[in-house]
Amino acid sequence: MRNRARDTITFGIASAAIILFVGTGGQALQQVIKAMQGNGIGPDNLMVSALLLNVALILLGWRHYRQLVTEVDLHRQAEDQAKQLADRDHLTGFLNRRSLSIAADELITACAARGESVALLMADLDSFKQINDVHGHGVGDNVLQQCARRIAEILPARSLSARIGGDEFACMIPFDSRHPEQLDELASALIEAVALPAQGSELQIDITMSIGIARGDGPLSGGATQATVKALLHSADIAMYHAKRKGRNRYFWFETSMENEMRVRRELEAGIRAGIPLGEFVPYYEQQIDLKTGKLTGFEMLARWKSPNFGIVGPQIFIPVAEDIGLIGQMSEGLIAQALQDAKAWDPALTLSVNISPIQFRDPWFSQKLLKLLVEANFPPKRLEIEITESCLHENVGAVRTLLASLKNQGIRISLDDFGTGYSSFSQLSELPIDSIKIDRSFVQKLTSGGDNATIVRAISTMGAGMGLPITAEGIESEEVLKELRTFGDFKGQGYLYGMPEPADETHKRLADLNLLAVPSEPFSATTAQQDRKAAAG
Ligand code: C2E
Ligand code: CA
Ligand code: CA
C-alpha cells in the first residue's frame, strides 16, 4: 500500500516537473542561449532555479521508476519460484501429481493433434520401505534422487516425469502407435538403469522397480473409452501391481483381466489385516524324518489361513501379500508363538523348523524378537531351526553375517531352504554359519523320472558331505524316490509320502500314538493351547 502511494506521488511529481520543464525550461533555455551568444540579458534567477528544480524532480522520478522496475522483477521472480515449488517435487525436481495432471492434459491434446499416441508408465520401487527402515530416510532420499536422475536421462524428448507418491514415479511418453515396442525397450532400460550400483556410495543396495504401462489408444480400466490422465494413471497402476505380483522387477502392459485380480488382491489384503488379530493364521506341521533310521526327528511349521471368506488358504497366496503390506513380521511372530506352545507338548528331542521371510531378515531387531518369543514360551533355542532362502543372503552381507552369528550364539540352528533354485556361491556357503541345507522339492519330486535332477541332487550331496553340512530332501512323494535318495547318503527327508502337513491337534494325536509327547497323559486341547499362548503373550 505504502509503495503504491509513494509511486503515485512520485509519478505526480515527475509529471508536474515535466510539464513545468516544458513551460519554464523553453523560456529559460532560450534566455541562457541568447546570453551566451552575447545578444541578450542573463536568465532570470527565478527561472533558472525553477529549471534546476525541474531537472532534479525528473531525476528523482527516474530513480523511483528504476526502483519500481527492479521491485516488479524481484516480485515476478519470487512468484515464479513459488509456482515452481508448488509444481515440482522438492526432492527430485520432477512434477508432482497436481502439475502432472495439467501438463499431461496438454500433452494428450498436443499428441492427438500430431497424430501421435501417448502412454503412461507407472514405476514403483520394490521394497523401498525396507530401504528406509534399514538404512534411514537420508539414504532413502538419495535412492529416490538417484532413480529420478536415471529415469530423466533415459526418457525420450517431450516426455513428462512426475513423482506422485513416496517411491512412485509416473511418466507420460508420446509415441508412434505403430511402434509400441519402443515402450517395451524403454521399460526394460529403466529397470536396468535403476538397478545399477550407486556411484560414490559404500552401501550396496539392490534396487529393483516394477512398471505398469497403459497406452492412450489401448484398453483402459473401468472400460473407459477416453484416454484421460485419470484413466491412464489408474490403468498403469493396475498393471504395475500386476508386475509386483508376478515377482517384481519387471513390467506389464495394462489388460482388462488385471482388474479382477486387483479386486481379489484388495480383498486378500483386507482379510489378512483383519485376520491377524483374530488368530486366523495357524500353524500346520509337516514331519521330518531321518531317512536312514525312518525315525521322526521333528516338524516343519507351515502356515495356513483359516479365512472366513476363502476357506483354508495356503502360504503361497498370503505370504507374498503379507510381505507387501508390511505385515509379515507380525504374522510370523504370532505363528511362531503358537508353534512354540504346540511344540512344548512334544517330546523334547523333537525339533521345530520355521520359515523366515527375507523381509524379516532385513529387520535389525529380528534376532532380539525371536529370542523374546523363545524366552516368553520358555522354549530351548537348540530345539528351534529357522529356514531361510538364498535371497536372504544377497543383501547386506555384513549385516547378514552378524545376524546369523547372533542367532547361532543363542543356540538356534539355521537351514538354507529351497537349495538349488537360487544362486548361492560355494564361497558364500562356506563363509556363513549355515547348519544344513534343504534340497528344493522340484529336484526331489522327479528324481527318478530322468533329466538332470539326479545329477543335481548328487552334486548337492557331494558338496554337503565335503562341507560337513547335513542335507534334508523335501518333496518325497514315493517309495521309489526314497530308495534312490538313500543311495546318495544319510539324508533327512520330508514329503507327502510321510503325510500331508497337519494342524496342531492332529500332530498332537500322532505323537500321542507314537508315545512322543513331553507329558504323555495330557490330551491336546486347543483351548488350553490358546490360553497358554495368551498367557505367554502377556
Ligand atoms: P517350503 O518351505 O518349501 O515348504 C514346503 C512346501 O512343500 C509346503 O507347501 C508343503 O506343503 C509342500 N510339500 C511338502 N511335501 C510335499 C511333497 O511331497 N510334494 C509336494 N508337491 N509338495 C510338498 P506350503 O505349505 O504350501 O508352503 C509353501 C511355502 O510357503 C513354503 O515352502 C514356505 O516357503 C512358505 N511358508 C510356509 N509357512 C511360512 C511361514 O510361516 N513364514 C514364511 N515366511 N513362509 C512360509
Ligand atoms: Ca521351508
Ligand atoms: Ca523348501
* pLDDT tens figures, 50-90: 777 777 877 887 888 888 888 888 888 877 777 777 899 99
Grid cell in block for residue 373:
518369543
pLDDT for residue 42: 64
pLDDT of residue 7: 60
469, 475, 477, 479: CA torsion to nearest 10: -10
Closest atom of ligand 1 relative to the 445 alpha carbon: 19
pLDDT at 189: 98
Inform me whether the pLDDT recorded for 6 exceeds 70.
no
> Is residue 366 pLDDT above 80, yes or no?
yes
pLDDT score for 377 = 98
* Residue 37 pLDDT > 50: yes
* Consecutive H or E run containing 157: none
Res. 393 pLDDT band, cuts 50 70 90? confident
Give the per-residue pLDDT at 205. Answer: 83
Share the mean pLDDT of the chain: 89
Ligand nearest to the CA of 332: 1
**Across 430-454, average pLDDT:** 91
- The confidence band for 274, taking pLDDT boundaries of 50, 70 and 90, is very high
What integer pLDDT is reported at residue 3 of this predicted model? 53
pLDDT computed for residue 12 by the predictor = 67
Q: Which cell numbers hold the place of 307?
A: 479365512
Beta bridge partners of 355: 387
Q: pLDDT tier at 4 (50, 70, 90 boundaries)?
A: low
CA 24 to centroid of chain Cα atoms: 80
With contact defined as beta carbons under 8 Å apart, do 64 and 118 qualify?
no
Is residue 213 pLDDT above 70, yes or no? yes
- Distance, in Å, from the CA atom of 185 to the CA atom of 229, rounded to the nearest integer, reads 23
Q: Is 70 exceeded by the pLDDT of residue 28?
A: no
Question: Can you tell me the mean pLDDT for 465-487?
Answer: 95
Over residues 206-226, the mean pLDDT reads 94
CA 237 vs CA 114, 335, 481: distances in Å: 27, 33, 46
Is 444 a residue whose pLDDT tops 90?
A: yes
DSSP class of residue 392 equals G
CB atoms within 10 A of CB 283: 26
What is the per-residue pLDDT for 1? Answer: 47
Q: Which three cell numbers stand for residue 322?
A: 503379507
Averaged pLDDT, 91-106: 96
Helix (H, G, I), strand (E, B) or coil at 250: coil
Tell me how far the alpha carbon of residue 418 lies from the centroid of ligand 1, in angstroms: 10
169: nearest Cα among 217, 233, 229, 214: 233
**pLDDT given for residue 104 in this prediction:** 97
Residue nearest to atom 42 of ligand 1 (CA): 355
Residue 368 CB partners (closer than 8 Å, separation 6+): none
Residue 58, C-beta contacts closer than 8 angstroms, at least 6 positions apart: 14, 17, 18, 21
Ligand nearest to the CA of 289: 1
Say whether pLDDT at 330 is over 80: yes
Q: pTM of this prediction?
A: 0.70
Q: Is residue 133 classed as helix, strand or coil in its secondary structure?
A: helix
User: What is the position in ligand 1's atom list of the atom closest to the CA of 283?
Assistant: 41
- Of the chain, the percentage scoring pLDDT greater than 70 comes to 88
Mean pLDDT of 286-309: 97
For 50, half-sphere exposure in the C-beta direction (CA atoms, 13 angstrom radius) is 19
Q: Give the whole-angstrom CA distance, residue 158 versus residue 164.
A: 19
- In the predicted model, what is the mean pLDDT of residues 471-487? 96
Cα–Cα dist 498/481, whole Å? 13
What cell numbers appear for 115 in the block?
497424430
Q: List, chain by chain if needed, residues with CB within 6 Å of any ligand 1 atom.
A: 286, 302-303, 314-316, 319, 332, 335, 355-357, 387, 417-418, 441, 445, 474-477, 494-496, 501
Question: Which one is predicted more confidently, 457 or 520?
Answer: 457
Q: What is the pLDDT of residue 49?
A: 77
Rounded CA separation 480/221 (Å) = 51
